């Protein structure tokens, strides 16, 4: 469900640049138990001290996020991980060495110091070391584990620019670091790496192929392919409608421009989001190009930004052309299917 603005005590939101001084001031807010939004290569994160329950509750309040949806904890270097997790199983060690810093979250057995509010009562915690240099300098200055979900109102598309964060969060957080647009544009790959074979709970920038190369094998959890409705999925966030614009989203197979046109004719305020390969066939009218089938990274980078633009322009129906669900296309289609869930 989309969280409603309002009925929340308004905060004074300080805007920071990415200078050394500003990143220090922003980190100081975190140390004081406040909330700060910071850029990362996946999407912008809404951070607070993961060891301070009161601070973490402010994240849930700002987002309107359900309390049973755990948060990912961000740190700046692998050396510090032992402070927060009980052990680093073999597959986790291999993945950490290969893909950190980067768009990957590992689910690990948590130490007591990580608040139960962060883990939503689970014995595990998701940890990530982001690649973004600004994120890591900020985290290093904090010198604390920083719990941070995506910095959007719960249910809506994740923010990939600081303008998106301002749109959703001015007055709801204590600070926003205005950095670059997120390079990847989709959330991290969430991996349970505690067992014999790593399990992907949420696909992202680190692909199944990349995990297989390092660990020899990989399992993609059933929930990734569709939308699970069970009360207790392995990755709690998976049970919610997610990543969705206000407009209705309908998916259409690659190349079926006739169906796209038909669906667009049914609703006056419709927009078609298609890939470069179909532009000529469809014609340019009432369509936006979201990237290329050949380079699915481009679609990942643009998807959430374009969803938000469509809402701003007041479209009621978004007709989205599918891409192949392999490599990062798996993550794109996972978000697209969730956005299309009624």
Nearer to ligand AMP, 126 or 321 (CB): 126
Q: Under a CB-based contact definition with an 8 Å cutoff, are residues 275 and 307 in contact?
A: no
Q: Which of residues 149-168 bind Mg ion (CB under 5 A)?
A: 149-150
85 binds, among Mg ion, ligand AMP, none (CB under 5 to 8 A by kind): none
Q: Looking at beta carbons only, is 149 or 208 nearer to ligand AMP?
A: 149
198 Cα distance to chain centroid: 20
CB of 258 to ligand AMP, least distance (A): 37
Residue 126 in the binding site for ligand AMP (CB under 6 A) = yes
205, 132 contact by CB (below 8 A): no
Q: Residue 13 binds which one of Mg ion, ligand AMP, none, with CB within 5 to 8 A depending on kind?
A: none
Structure tokens at 303: 């998807």
Region 173-192 residues binding ligand AMP, contact defined as CB under 6 A = 187, 190
Please identify, using beta-carbon distances, which residue of 172 and 202 lies nearer to ligand AMP: 202
Query: Does the protein bind ligand AMP through residue 204 (CB under 6 A)?
Result: no
Does 58 bind ligand AMP (CB under 6 A)? Our answer is no
120 conformational bin, left if phi > 0, alpha if psi -120 to 50, beta if neither: left
How is residue 256 annotated by DSSP?
Answer: -
Q: Among 50, 125, 186, 331, which residue interacts with ligand AMP (rule: CB under 6 A)? A: 125
- Would you say 13 or 160 has its CB closer to Mg ion? 160
Q: Which stretch binds ligand AMP (CB under 6 A): 117-125, 160-168, 221-229, 318-326?
A: 117-125
Written as one string, the DSSP assignment of 85-120 is: BS---HHHHHHHHHH-SSSEEEEEEBPTTS-HHHHT
Q: How many angstroms separate the Cα of 140 from the Cα of each of 29, 144, 155, 330?
A: 14, 8, 30, 32
The verdict on 105 binding Mg ion (CB under 5 A) reads no
Three-state DSSP at 47 gives: strand
Task: Give contact residues for Mg ion (rule: CB under 5 A).
Answer: 149-150
């Amino acid at each position: 469900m989309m969280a409603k603005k309002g009925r929340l005590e308004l905060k004074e939101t300080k805007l920071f640049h990415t200078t050394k001084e500003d990143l220090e001031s922003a980190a100081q807010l975190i140390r004081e138990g406040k909330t700060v939004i910071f850029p990362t290569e996946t999407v912008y994160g809404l951070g607070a001290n993961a060891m301070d329950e009161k601070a973490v509750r402010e994240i849930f309040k700002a987002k309107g996020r359900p309390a049973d949806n755990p948060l990912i904890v961000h740190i700046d270097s692998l050396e510090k991980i032992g402070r927060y997790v009980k052990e680093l199983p073999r597959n986790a060690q291999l993945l950490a060495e290969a893909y950190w810093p980067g768009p990957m979250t590992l689910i690990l057995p948590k130490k007591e110091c990580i608040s139960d509010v962060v883990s939503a009562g689970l014995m595990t915690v998701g940890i990530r070391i982001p690649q973004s240099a600004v994120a890591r300098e900020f985290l290093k200055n904090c010198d604390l584990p920083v719990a941070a979900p995506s910095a959007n109102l719960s249910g809506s598309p994740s923010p990939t620019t600081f303008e998106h964060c301002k749109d959703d969060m001015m007055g709801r957080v204590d600070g926003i670091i205005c950095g670059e647009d997120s390079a990847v544009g989709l959330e991290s790959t969430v991996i349970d790496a505690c067992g014999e074979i790593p399990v992907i709970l949420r696909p992202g920038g680190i692909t199944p192929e990349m995990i297989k190369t390092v660990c020899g094998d990989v399992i993609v959890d059933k929930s990734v392919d569709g939308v699970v409705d069970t009360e207790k999925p392995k990755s709690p966030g998976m049970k919610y409608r997610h990543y969705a614009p206000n407009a209705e989203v309908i998916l259409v197979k690659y190349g079926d421009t006739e169906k796209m046109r038909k669906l667009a004719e049914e609703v006056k305020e419709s927009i078609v989001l298609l890939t470069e390969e179909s532009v000529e066939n469809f014609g340019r009218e009432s369509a936006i190009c979201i990237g290329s089938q050949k380079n699915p990274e481009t679609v990942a980078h643009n998807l959430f930004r374009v969803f938000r633009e469509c809402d701003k322009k007041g479209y009621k129906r978004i007709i989205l052309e599918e891409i192949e669900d392999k490599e990062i296309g798996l993550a794109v289609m996972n978000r697209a299917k969730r956005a299309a869930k009624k």
